[in-house]
Structure 1
Amino acid sequence: MTVKQIMVIGAGQMGGGIAQVCAMAGYNVHLHDLKEEFVEKGLNVIKKNLERQVSKGKMTEEEQTQTFQRLTPSVDLQNAAKVDIVIEAAVENMEIKSKLFAELDGIAAEHTILATNTSSLPITEIAAVTNRPEKVIGMHFMNPVPVMKLVEVIRGLATSDEVYQVVEDLAKALNKVPVEVNDFPGFVANRILMPMINEAIYTLYEGVATKEAIDEVMKLGMNHPMGPLALADFIGLDTCLYIMETLHEGFGDTKYRPCPLLRKYVKAGWLGKKTGKGFYTYE
Structure 2
Amino acid sequence: MSRIHQTAIIEQGATIGDRVSVGPFCHIGSEAVIGDDVELLSQVVVMGPTTLASGSKVYPNAVLGGDPQNTKHKGGYTTLVIGKNCVIREGVTMHRGTDGSRGITTIGDNCMFLAYSHVAHDCVIGDNVTFSNNVMIGGHVTIGNNVIIGGGAGIHQFVRVGHHAFIGGLAALASDLVPYGMAIGNHAYLHGLNIVGMKRSGMARPEIHNLRHAVRMLFDRTKPIKNRAEDVRLAFPDSPAVTDLVGFITTDTKRAYCTPPLDSAIEISDSDDNS
Which structure exhibits the higher relative contact order, with contacts defined as CA atoms closer than 8 Å and separated by 6 or more residues? 1
Check whether TM > 0.5: no
Larger Rg: 2
Name the TM-score, length of structure 2 as normaliser.
0.31
The structure richer in strand per residue is: 2
Name the TM-score, length of structure 1 as normaliser.
0.31
